[in-house]
Amino acid sequence: MSMAPLDTNGASTPGATDAFVQVVKATKRFGPTTVFENIDLIVGRGKVSCIIGPSGAGKSTLLRCVNALERLSAGRIYVGGDLIGFKEQGDQLYELTDKQAAFQRSKIGMVFQRFNLFPHMTVLENIVEAPVRVLRQDKAEVLERARALLVRVGLSDREKSYPAHLSGGQQQRVAIARALALQPQLMLFDEPTSALDPELCGEVLDVMKQLAHHGITMVVVTHEMGFARDVADEVVFMDGGAIVERGTPIDVLEHPAEERTRKFLGSVLGRAPS
C-alpha cells in the first residue's frame, strides 16, 4: 500500500511515515456555519485515536468526512494513502464515481450511535449482506466468517433473531460484526455507546477493546473517558470546530494543558476543574 504523499506539510509530525489516516487542513461548512476548520490529524497504522469534546464540536462530522458520508469543504483526507472522495491527477481533482466511492467506503468500517441495523434482515443476513452483494465474495465463506464474528462479539446464539428482538447492546455488537465482515483496515466509531443504558455500555466497550488489541486502526468519537484512558494511543480534544489539545491519554485526561480541556473533563467526570 502506498504511503500518503509527503508534500502534505501541515500534517507531517514524527511517525507520519506510518500514518494510516491523514487529515490535512480539513474544513467543513454547512452553508454559512462552519463545523470545523483547518483540522490536521494523523492516526498511525494499528493505533487507536479517541476524539472527545462537547457536542457541537464537529467530532461526528469529521468522522463522517473520513468515510465520505459528508464531503469536505476544503482540505484532504487520506486513508491508507488513498485520497477520500476524489482522484488526484496532477493538480486536478476528479470526483469519484458512485462505484469508486462505494468501493472506497467498503474498506472503512463504521459503527453508528443508533446502530442502524437493517430491521428487515436477521442478524446473520445483516452481516452477510455487504460482503456478498458489494464485494461479491463466496456466500459459504462469508457465512463461516460471519458466524466466527458472532462468536467474537458473543452473540452466536442470536443469528436468526431480528434486530428488534435484541437489546441495544446486542444490536451494537451486531453492528460491529457487520462492519468487520468487510474486513476493513480502519474502523470508525461514532459515539457507539451514547444510545445505550449504562449497564449495556460495558459489553460494547469490551468488544471494542478486544478489537483494539487485534491491531486494527480505530478512530473513536466517544464520551467514555474510561475507554479512552485504557485503550487510546492518542486522545484528541475538539471544541468549537478545532483541535484544542492532543496527546497520550495520561497527558490529555490527567494533566490537560488547556483550560477548555480541563473545564470539559471536569463537567464530564463530575468533578471540579483542578
Partner 1 sequence: MKDIETDSYSESPQDLRRVVPLFGAGLTRAFQRRRKAAPESSADDEWAIKARPVPRPGRWIATVVVGLLIAMLVHGLITNGTFGWGVVRHYFFTSLVLSGVRLTVILTVVSMAAGIAIGIVVAVMRMSPNPLMSNASRLYVWFFRGTPLLVQLIFWYNIGALYPKISVGVPFGPSFTSFSANHVLTSLVAALVGLSLNEGAYMAEIIRSGIIAVDVGQIEAARSLGMRHRLLLRRIVLPQAMRVVIPPTGNQVITMLKTTSLCSVLAIAELLYSVELIYQRNFETIPLLIVASLWYLLMTTVLSVGQYYLERHFGRGHVTMLTLNLQHRR
List residues binding partner 1 (CB under 8 A): 67, 69, 98-99, 102-110, 112, 114, 116-122, 129-130, 133-135, 162-165, 175, 178-179, 182
- Return the HEC string of 74-107: EEEEEECCEECCEEEECCEEEECCHHHHHHHHHC
Nearer to partner 1, 73 or 113 (CB): 113
C-alpha cell at 93: 481533482
Q: What are φ and ψ of residue 215, in 5° steps?
A: 85, 20
The nearest distance, CB 126 to partner 1, in angstroms, is 9
Helix (H, G, I), strand (E, B) or coil at 242: strand
Query: Which of 115/237 has CB closer to partner 1?
Result: 115
Our measurement of the distance from residue 200's CA atom to the centroid of its chain's CA atoms, rounded to an integer in Å, reads 20
Amino acid of residue 183: Q
Judged by CB, which is closer to partner 1: 181, or 235? 181
Other CB atoms within 10 A of residue 266 CB = 14
Separation CA 1–CA 97 (nearest Å): 22
Smallest CA-to-CA distance from 220 within 51, 26, 41 is with 51
For 168, the grid coordinates are: 441495544
Cβ-based nearer residue to partner 1, 140 or 164: 164
* Chain Cα centroid distance, residue 104: 15
Cα–Cα distances in angstroms (integers) from residue 71 to residues 26, 63, 107, 153, 230, in the given order: 10, 11, 17, 32, 32
Retrieve residue 63's grid coordinates. Answer: 468522522
CB of 77 to partner 1, least distance (A): 15
Nearer to partner 1, 134 or 151 (CB): 134
Min. distance of Cβ 91 from partner 1 in angstroms? Answer: 28
Which of 116/185 has CB closer to partner 1?
Answer: 116
- Considering beta carbons, is residue 99 or 271 the nearer one to partner 1? 99
Least Å from the CB of residue 63 to partner 1: 11
CB of residue 159 to partner 1, shortest distance in Å: 14
Q: Please list the residues that pair with 74 across neighbouring strands.
A: 27
CB of 220 to partner 1, least distance (A): 15
Question: At its nearest, how many Å lie between partner 1 and the CB of residue 13?
Answer: 28
22 in the Ramachandran plot: left (φ > 0), alpha (ψ -120 to 50) or beta?
beta
